[in-house]
Amino acid sequence: FYRVDPYGFERPEDFDYASYEAFFSRYLVVLTRRAIKWSKLLKGKNSIQKSLKVKRYIRKGIPNEHRALVWMIVSGAQTNMEQNPGYYHRLLEGEKNDKLVEAIKTDMNRTFPDNVKFRKTADPCLQHTLYNVLVAYGHHNKAVGYCQGMNFIAGYLILITKNEEESFWLLDALIGRILP
C-alpha cells in the first residue's frame, strides 16, 4: 500500500499497513461482488429506475467506478446539467463578485492540506478546479453565495467525479435541493 490513498490523502506516519492489508484482502471480495452487481444493474446506461433494489444497493455502498454516475443520476444533477447546457461555463465567464472571490481565495490553501492533489505543487493542481466550482456556485445561488466549509464539500465532489462541471451540479443538488 502506498503512502497516499487513491483519493490523494496522505496516510499518517503511524498508519498500520499490516492491519489495513489484512482487512482489505478480506473486504476486496465484498467490493468485487458489489461492483459486479452494479455493473449488471447499470449495463452501460446513464439511468437508474428507483426501486427497493437500487435503494438497497446504494445503502450498501456504491463502488468507486460507478459512484460519480450514480450520484449524478439519483441526485437529479445529471438532469439539471443536461437541461442547462453551457450554463456552468457562462457563470465562469460572467462578472465576478469581488467579496465572493476573496472569501473563496481565503479558503483555497485550507482545503484538504493533507491531500497531494490540492497542493500548489500538484500537476494538475485541483485548487483551480475547486475555485471555479465555488465561484460558479456562488454566482448561481446568490442567496447562499459562499459559506466556510463549502470548499471541503466541493473538493470531495471533485475527487469523486474528476469533473469540474459535474461537481458544480452535484453541489447545486446538495445545497439547493437535498439539504437546503
81-176 in CATH: which number? 1.10.8.270
Q: State the sign of the Cα–Cα–Cα–Cα dihedral 111, 131, 172, 52.
A: negative
pLDDT in tens, 64-98: 999 999 999 999 999 999 999 999 999 999 999 99
Q: How far apart are CA 164 and CA 132, in angstroms?
A: 8
| Domain edges within the chain | 81-176
Distances (CA, A) of 144 to 8, 33, 139: 29, 41, 9
pLDDT of residue 54: 93
Residues of the chain with pLDDT under 70: 1
Determine if the pTM surpasses 0.85: yes
Neighbours of 102 (CB within 10 A): 10
Q: Which three cell numbers stand for residue 57?
A: 444497493
